[in-house]
Amino acid sequence: MLAQTLLSLLVLASSSFAFPSARVEIQIRQAISALSTAQIAAYRPYTLYASTGYCSPSTTINWSCGANCEANPSFVPVASGGDGDSVQFWFVGFDPTLNSVIVSHQGTDTSEILPIITDVEIELETLNAALFPGVSSSVEVHDGFGKAQADTATAVLAAVQQAMSAHSTTAVTTVGHSLGAAISLLDALYLSIQMPSASVNFIGYGLPRVGNQAFANLIDSKLPNLSHINNKEDPVPILPGEFLGFVHPSGEKHIMDSNAWVACPGQDNDSNECSTGDVPTIFSGVAGDHDGPYDGVEMGC
């Protein structure tokens, strides 16, 4: 604590010689850090893959889905599925530029996701032991999200293994927006457990809270480099409420009103630069922020 205070004073002292006062403030708050233009741009292909999750399987299987597909022109599709009704659309394939297998799940629009995550009857339940062998029974997730992930789990795993072997890679990135982000976060955990030698990461957009504290801790240990990107005052990331026992894993990136992106340390950082602090209740949320834009990309097909 004393060392930290001294460090702040040193930063303050050295900065105030070199920089005007606005710069000094940024230096002191350095634990919440702004992303560079290049760091933001690096998310772009994943953002587009999350958006492509909304395209029907008949168009993702041969990469004929229009603007979303054309924006990632070198993608090699492997499998697609879902009916967009009882099972969200999904696709799996390989991106040679990123040298990663990509898994994407369709999301829902704000009017459909809000009832799922504001329902006071929401149940937390343990993960399916056949899909998630060895995971402690203290780990609990939203029952609807758990069921949605289980619906496509084995088909996704088979497609990922096919893509990994065809393209000689161990890198897998799961992406999605909204409900699709919740399914893809569970997929990332599932794939990392089923294939311990794979290098799995998750990049999600407008992610609701998926599970309890033990779940968030497990995710932090298995997927230490994940990102969940929240746009401005989107209410979805603050739901279901913490009072119901839900906790976000670390890795939040928050798009501020200024369009700057900041990395928020910890789980559910309550700083007003991060979603949990910026949107204290659903009434301070702006539903229209849920679909984007995320660096110019509006989710949808």
Ligand X SMILES: *[C@@H]1O[C@H](CO)[C@@H](O)[C@H](O)[C@H]1NC(C)=O
Please give the residue ranges that form the binding site for ligand X (CB under 6 A): 29, 31-32, 42, 58, 62, 64, 203, 225, 227, 265-266, 269-271
Beta carbon of residue 197, minimum distance to ligand X (angstroms, whole number): 16
- In the complex, the smallest distance separating the C-beta of residue 40 from ligand X, rounded to whole angstroms, is 10
Least distance CB 124 / ligand X (angstroms): 21
Do 88 and 183 contact (CB within 8 A), yes or no?
Answer: yes
What amino acid occupies position 215? F
Q: How far is the CB of 102 from ligand X (least distance, A)?
A: 12
Among residues 213 and 271, whose Cβ is nearest to ligand X?
271
Radius of gyration of the chain measured on its C-alpha atoms: 19
Nearer to ligand X (CB atom), residue 132 or residue 215: 215
Nearest to ligand X of 106, 173 (CB atom): 173
Pick 116 or 218: Cβ nearer ligand X: 218
Task: Report the DSSP beta bridge partners of residue 172.
Answer: 101, 200
State in angstroms the smallest separation of the CB of 64 from ligand X: 4
**CA–CA–CA angle 109, 246, 219 (5° rounding):** 90
Q: Report the alpha-carbon distance of residue 141 to residue 182 in Å, rounded.
A: 10
User: Judged by CB, which is closer to ligand X: 146, or 249?
Assistant: 249
Residue showing tokens 């393209």? 167
Is 16 in a helix, a strand, or coil? helix
- Distances in Å between the alpha carbon of 198 and those of 163, 173, 191, 228? 12, 10, 8, 21
Q: Which residue is nearest to ligand X (CB)?
A: 266
Q: Under DSSP, is residue 164 helix (H, G, I), strand (E, B) or coil?
A: helix
Q: Which residues of 224-245 are buried (b: 16+ CB within 10 A; e: fewer)?
A: eebbbbbbbbbbbbbbbeeebe
Least CB distance from residue 114 to ligand X, whole Å?
Answer: 25
In sequence order, the β-bridge partners of residue 93 are 77, 102
Collapsing DSSP to helix, strand or coil, 127 comes out as coil
Nearer Cβ to ligand X (47/269): 269
Q: Which residue's CB is nearer to ligand X, number 98 or number 117?
A: 98
Measured from the CB atom, is 129 or 260 closer to ligand X?
Answer: 260
At its nearest, how many Å lie between ligand X and the CB of residue 294?
A: 14
Cβ–Cβ contacts within 10 Å for residue 99, how many?
A: 12
Cα 286 from Cα 13, distance rounded (Å): 40
Query: Measuring CA to CA, which residue among 208, 233, 224 is closest to residue 266?
Result: 224
Three-class SS state of 114: helix
What gap in Å lies between CA 75 and CA 103, rounded to an integer? 12
Residue bearing tokens 């993960």: 127
Least distance from ligand X to the Cβ atom of residue 211, Å: 17
